[in-house]
A and B are shown apart, each in its own frame.
Chain A
């Protein structure tokens, strides 16, 4: 059964892998910077380390190759020395005397003397036919000094004046040389055979001059490799023998052998033997001393890399902080602005893009504050819808002439009432009244221009043009009257005397705009039509008219016959009240009662 979810594609497939998406800019910058630096440093370290390893191997290789020459040279020098010694021995008068005496025992003792004189551990003497005459070592008889005979035979065959080779003497590895005994020169009477052992001491002398470990090894029996001479502990034989067994017999080869907790660059060559299978010469140089200086460099590099990483971390954090901190400040400031605080200014004290952003935000705050002021202004005067519309259009705040319907409402008998009531109660009552009236006006889309004590001035068709402003104004007037009835019922219930009002409505072309000082502006309208509305309101006090609402013919004309519904839900046509002269105005105005 396969898990059905196993094949499902990952839910999120954003561009960046999950591990590389960071919430914080600083982390992102840090990871980027450190990542790049780490990659560069790691590459450098690896390259240097690799180059060092190569150099060390090359060094070790050169060393072992030099050591191979040193070994050859050391053997050749010793052979040369032995050859010269043999030459001197051959010129010895006593030797000739003893040879004439034909006394092998005496001859053997003479050869023993020679071993001391020329520091050759083994000296044998053969006649010119390769027959053993005497030996400095009793144990060396005809049988086991065979390698000398072989050397002599091939020397005679090839007419050589000396001949040398590797062989076993009494089972120990030796280098042998045969040199003629002349009597006189160049008449060959017989042959000297001399030999020196290739042993640990020889290896140590090579190591002393070359710093290279030397091992002679016989793998004639592959199962039981035989250590002939070595400067290394005997335990090293197994890995060396394994490498030797795999090595090329025909030419020297270089291998790296792991042994004794180190890696050894090993030069393996094979040495022919007299009457025996070839033996291996292994010259080895451990890599660790070659790498020692490189290690120092690598450690130094590692240390500087770590320091650079640490410095880069601090730097990246610093840069990130330098960016993220002001960004956070800006974000915080944005929240401050969002909360409505336009007075606070942000000061980043920098000239870069972030500084420009801060400046822009400050400019924005200033703009918002100004706009807010205007909005505040409007909010007090107009309904929120009108305010919003104004904010959208942004017009109508300058001075302009337009047709506006002005509604004036006044509380009757407020002066006497104010004398009867204590101030708090009076104000509470007034505000209660104004509140009801305002509601009625705004319900019809009117804009409260101002409260003048207990009087209300409201506008229809300004600051936002309304096609049906006059109708709305008359409807508002009726609504106010109706609202007052409701208020009066409440007042009666409270045991208070009822209130009465008078409303004047006039439509005229007036000047609309912000009026006031630099510090205090008010949107309002001015003009004769405003006075007319106020005068019409005053006319309601005239009991003869028997109405609370008086409007002008201009308003009715503007209604174009569309009368708003009355209290009973039916449109009652206005009752003409005739022509009146208004104070401060030439000519007559035709007025109507709205019921």
Chain B
């Protein structure tokens, strides 16, 4: 309950930012995408990525960034959805006082980090594009996604459902949207002019949210 006003506040801030982003003229090559669900509600944690369709478009090399961090804290992964470039290392620090056992059965990157204790950090290299579902063998409710992309142009929607992809050269692009609950696939071809592209609004259909809800502490029943 106390989180609710905070969430509302965040939503307002995010909307203000998005509004600012949409109205403030940027340096050339930015695509702002609004992702909405079937009911017109903004969808957070959607991954928006663009793939250049014209060979003429120069694709900048993806910088091998420092390891992306997915923490394990309070028996939850954070962030829930992660967008990384191929060849990125992801570190999994355990900030809890208990053990975790991170695994993936996804074909993109099946792996397992055998039980490791508090304070330990494990790192995994994601060298193939695709979606990786992360879980913890101990805690059924812990789940996270890593979207490994070859394209340098990607962003994740915030609570307001807006993602902004920058540094786009003019040309034709395929705009992909991915979401953990996406039903089917979502692609769109857009043309980025010299300068700012018009904002894109994309409606996606979401499947039922079947994430495991943790039972309140002390309810004695684990989870449901």
Contact = CB atoms under 8 A, between A and B. Distances in A.
B105 A185 contact: no
Interface string B120-150: 0000000000000111110011110000000
B141 A96 contact: no
A186 B211 contact: yes
A393 interface: no
Contact of B141 (A97, A99, A159, A185): A185
A189 to B, nearest CB: 5
A100 B105 contact: yes
A481 B162 CA distance: 177
* Interface size classification for chain A: 10 to 19
Contact of B212 (A100, A159, A183, A185): A185
A184 B142 contact: yes
A93 interface: yes
Nearest to A92: B137
Main secondary structure of the interface of B (DSSP, over half): loop
Nearest to B131: A187
Interface string A84-112: 00000001010011011000000000000
A184 B136 contact: yes
A187 B143 contact: yes
B103 interface: yes
Interface in A166-199: 182-187, 189
Nearest to A183: B105
A161 interface: yes
A513 B137 CA distance: 151
B208 A183 contact: no
A91 B141 CA distance: 11
A159 B206 CA distance: 11
Given A159-B183, A183-B133, A185-B141, A100 B210 contact: no
B207 interface: yes
B137 A185 contact: no
Contacts of B106: 183
B161 to A, nearest CB: 21
Contacts of A99: 105, 110
B37 interface: no
B176 interface: no
B137 A93 contact: yes
B196 interface: no
Which residue among A91, A100, A187 has the maximum number of chain B CB atoms within 10 Å of its CB?
A: A187
Given A96-B105, A96-B112, A97-B112, A187 B133 contact: yes
B135 A184 contact: yes
B145 to A, nearest CB: 8
A184 B134 contact: yes
24 contacts: A91-B140, A93-B101, A93-B137, A96-B105, A96-B137, A100-B105, A100-B110, A100-B111, A100-B112, A159-B183, A159-B207, A183-B103, A183-B104, A183-B106, A184-B133, A184-B136, A184-B142, A185-B140, A185-B143, A185-B210, A185-B211, A186-B209, A186-B211, A186-B212
Interface of B: 101, 103-106, 110-112, 133-137, 140-143, 180, 183, 207-212
Interface of A: 91, 93, 96-97, 99-100, 159, 161, 182-187, 189
Given A91-B137, A185-B212, 14 more contacts: A93-B101, A96-B112, A97-B112, A99-B105, A100-B105, A182-B135, A183-B106, A183-B133, A183-B135, A184-B135, A185-B135, A186-B143, A186-B211, A187-B133
List the 3 shortest-distance A-B pairs measured between CB atoms, nearest first. A184-B135, A186-B210, A183-B105
